[in-house]
Structure 1
């Protein structure tokens, strides 16, 4: 089980401030790198973010989409260049945490109001090759409260397969006559997959043949053939099936 220390406190944030000197520094490759780092530093300020710790008996579960600090490329709606940065997506508290060169041991909250997407650079492991994991704003979410969340884009072609991470905190319950004797806080996970069409319709789906055929009728026959050939079981397997029957137009 993943256990982390916790104690909530809001971290004061500074907005993105770009001076004429910073814009000038973007000229040239070396100065451009300095400017990209300066732009990144402008997105964070204040004391380190304080992470969840839970009741005296601790916390069960993880607030993050991925527990690792992974290098990330961040895209702003202003297209301001940013240096790559170690990043975590804190799903529970709806925030992005980063580490800077100047403060490599501190978890700092990123002012993400202008962030439209980020790409995590996942290294190769014994279980698979290196890959890029794309996250974008869930601006087309069915529920307004989810529209500032991020979704992971597992496949993108005529259709997009989106993974929405949802985490909720279940507090310890061990006091009183009707308690369940649960002595720790627990973060509960829920994942919802969506298939988005080129027309913009968004359908919640399970990763199985019939739900995907219903959500993407134009791919129904090709899906049946690909599933018979590949026998998908995991999330990555289903993404591979969609990559086969619905290749990206960029390829």
Structure 2
């Protein structure tokens, strides 16, 4: 009886051993672990990557906004986000599962973003502006001042990918977005001129009233270290 039982156990172990050897799943797993050329199941993760620094968006979250389209339609109290890197205006649709859409830039006239603390930012497009750079002409501008003349700020972003692989890398382990601001003066004749925040640049751009503006700059002690000084001067230019 004991002899028969021992024979049974031996036969059972042989069957199990045969199944283990011929089981393709087991073979594949063992081969993959022992021979990387067959495509290992264990992958090495490069932990040096540090993610993304900065953001492509002008403001970090969704803002309560208004949109004015070129055909006259207007939308108020809608959630908006401005992608400054792609120059794209996004609209959130809460009733459609919180998906978002990009509003066709060619249809937009102006849009307004309002921060939670009540700070408004009014953007506009100027497709009829006289400027040689088509990308600038087709983009959005933040309005700093608007009268007969307008002082505009182009809000853009740059993107720099991570660079840490290879022998000649810069060892930068993160993707990054950076600010790329520039200023423009829009004259009544629709001439759009890029301008620096400096006394000389503004006097050159408004040379038709240079003498009166020079005295005003000295009187007001404008240093052009802030946008407020530039706004003050353009307002004076319009008043002359």
Contact conserved, 1:88 with 1:98, CA < 8 A, in 2? yes
Tell me what 2:83 maps to: 90
- TM-score scaled by length of structure 1: 0.65
TM-score by length of 2: 0.67
Residue of structure 1 equivalent to 2:107: 114
> Which whole-Å deviations, capped at 9, do the CAs of 1:131-151 have from their partners, x for residues lacking one?
543211242353223333211
Partners of 2:221 and 2:150 in 1: CA distance? 20
Give the whole-Å Cα distance in 2 for the aligned partners of 1:198 and 1:206.
20
Change (3 A) 1:237 1:99: farther
- 2:74 corresponds to which of 78, 81, 85: 81
Alignment of 1:143 onto 2:133: yes
In the aligned structure 2, how far is the partner of 1:68 from the partner of 1:235?
Answer: 25
1:109/1:230 CA distance change after superposition, 3 Å? farther
- 2:75 counterpart SS class: coil
Given that 1:161 and 1:196 are in contact with CA atoms closer than 8 Å, whether structure 2 keeps it comes out as yes
2-structure distance, mates of 1:63, 1:207:
24
Tell me the secondary structure at the aligned position of residue 146 of structure 1.
helix
Distance, in Å, in 2 between the alignment partners of 1:243 and 1:103 is 45
Contact 2:122 2:143 in 1 (8 A): yes
- Report how far residue 202 of structure 1 moved: 1.8
Equivalent residues in 2 for 1:206-225, closer than 5 Å: 206-225=196-215
Aligned: 1:168 with 2:158: yes
Query: Are the counterparts in 2 of residues 74 and 84 from structure 1 also a CA contact under 8 Å?
Result: no
How big is each residue's C-alpha offset from its partner over 1:163-183, in whole Å with a ceiling of 9 and x where there is no partner? Answer: 112222111000111100000
Aligned residue pairs total 187
Q: Is the 8 A contact 1:194 1:204 kept in 2?
A: yes
**Offset at 1:109?**
2.5
SS in 2 for 1:83: strand
Q: Hey, what's the Cα distance between the residues in 2 that align with 1:68 and 1:222?
A: 44
Conserved? CA contact 1:68–1:88, under 8 Å: yes
> Pairwise CA RMSD of aligned residues?
2.6
Superposed CA deviations along residues 102-144 of structure 1, whole A, max 9, x for unmatched, are 379x4612323411111223565xxxxx554321124235322
1:237 corresponds to 2:229 = yes
**8 Å contact kept, 1:226–1:245:** no
Partner Cα distance (2:234, 2:115) in 1? 21
Q: For the Cα contact (< 8 Å) 2:123–2:142, is it kept in 1?
A: yes
CA distance in 1, matches of 2:211, 2:115: 33
In structure 2, stretches of 5+ residues that fail to align are: 1-47
| Cα distance between partner residues in 1 of 2:217 and 2:63 | 32
Q: How far is the alpha carbon of 1:100 from its aligned partner?
A: 4.2
Q: Cα gap change, 1:221/1:67 in structure 2, threshold over 3 Å: closer, same or farther?
A: farther
